[in-house]
Amino acid sequence: MTFSYTQLFAFTEGIFRSMGCPEDDATLATETLLSADLRGIDSHGVARLVGYVRLWEAGRINATPRVGVTYETPSTAVVDGDGGLGLVVGPKAMRVAIEKAQQVGTGWVSVKNSNHFGIAGYHAMLALAHDMIGVAMTNASPLVAPTHSLDRLLGTNPIAVAVPAGEQPDFVVDMATTTAANGKLEIAQRKNLPLPEGWAQTADGQPSTDANAVKNGGALLPLGGATGSHKGYALGSIVDIFSAVLSGANYGPWVPPFVAFLQPSANPVGQGLGHFFGAMRVDAFRPAEEFKAHMDNWITTFRNAQAVEGKKVLIPGDPEREMAAHRLLDGIPLLEAVVQDLEVVGKKFGVKL
């Protein structure tokens, strides 16, 4: 089934307001969440709305947080999300990084006491309007086994970097540090499809194509596969340290799970979930227009690289940008199972889909 962006926005905003979110926060959370659906990252969009509601019902999300800075220098800060929606805490913390960059050239913010913040790319892209390079990371539910391990100690721990260009579309990287994000397993489960090899392992460490492998005690695998997973493991570890060890959030196996039916650790090492944001003013390095002209040249050079037969060379951000343009015109498709979940939660709050 296909829904217009406007229709989904009104519904989602209504749900967040029914949870008790102030109007501005409900609007911000909706914009953040639906940016995933627009960009074709269906695993992190409105399909997750029911998950946020369940966490709120379980008392694990504060709908009216007092998000604030607890420690800072001219270029750095720690932000306490007060248990709020990561969809709200994230953008507010990124604005702190941007404000610091406006003052001193760069801004770096580590966040504690937050929740799942949607797609990392949305937060990194907030810097683009200010002629800044944006960086966003977050740790996540521990579903990933380090190289050679059976234990699930890391999350999918994404990294996003957004770089402004001139006449060319901006350069935007948004990737998990695992071979695939957990949301893609959820999509495979809904569609009753097998996983590609290299995405997951069983509880005893054997490769698996079962979409339920992680549910059954297995683990997601770090980016890099059979011969290079140590690289994904290292990248995921960096995200965990910057997001949580630095801020005072939970890290490693103590990160609270996104699903409400699993309880957080009884002995947490920090507060909530952690994020990390950065903003770098381009003109702190060279004139912004000069930089963007060279970014245009870089992008054009790579896009025009000779491609193998039947393929084309893409620039990071191309597929998502094209998808957003398409879905704004033609609507956002949702799986039947997702629609059913949304209708149930809508009925609970008296909000019509």
Domain limits, the chain: 1-64+331-352, 65-178+223-316, 180-220
Mapping DSSP onto H, E and C, the string for the chain reads: CEECHHHHHHHHHHHHHHCCCCHHHHHHHHHHHHHHHHCCCHHHCHHHHHHHHHHHHCCCCECCCCCEEEEECCCEEEEECCCECHHHHHHHHHHHHHHHHHHHCEEEEEEEEECCCCCHHHHHHCCHHHCEEEEEEECCCCCECCCCCCCCCECCCCEEEEECCCCCCCEEEEECCECCCHHHHHHHHHHCCCCCCCCEECCCCCEECCCCCCCCCCEECECCHHHHHHHHHHHHHHHHHHHHHCCCCCCHHHCCCCCCCCCCCCCCCCCCEEEEEEEEEHHHCCCHHHHHHHHHHHHHHHHCCCCCCCCCCCCCCHHHHHHHHHHHHHCEECCHHHHHHHHHHHHHHCCCC
pLDDT value, residue 226: 80
| Rounded Cα–Cα distance for residues 92 and 24 (Å) | 12
In which band, very low, low, confident or very high, does the pLDDT at 261 lie, cut at 50, 70 and 90? confident
Domain 180-220 -> CATH class: alpha beta
Which of 66-75, 117-126, 220-229, 242-251 has the lowest average pLDDT?
220-229
Q: Is the pLDDT of residue 60 over 90?
A: yes
Could you tell me what percent of the chain has a pLDDT over 90? 93
Read off the pLDDT of each residue in 196-210 and give the average, rounded to a whole number.
93
In which band, very low, low, confident or very high, does the pLDDT at 182 lie, cut at 50, 70 and 90? confident
Q: Is pLDDT larger for residue 243 or for residue 198?
A: 243
Provide the CATH number for the domain formed by 65-178+223-316 in this structure: 3.30.1370.60
Task: Convert the pLDDT of each residue in 123-134 to its tens digit.
Answer: 999 999 999 999
Task: Convert the pLDDT of each residue in 273-311 to its tens digit.
Answer: 999 999 999 999 999 999 999 999 999 999 999 999 999
Q: Is the pLDDT of residue 81 over 80?
A: yes
The pTM of this model reads: 0.95
How does the average pLDDT of the chain come out, rounded?
Answer: 96
Do the domains 65-178+223-316 and 180-220 sit in the same CATH topology, yes or no?
Answer: no
In which band, very low, low, confident or very high, does the pLDDT at 262 lie, cut at 50, 70 and 90? confident
Provide the CATH number for the domain formed by 1-64+331-352 in this structure: 1.10.1530.10
Q: Is the pLDDT of residue 183 over 80?
A: no
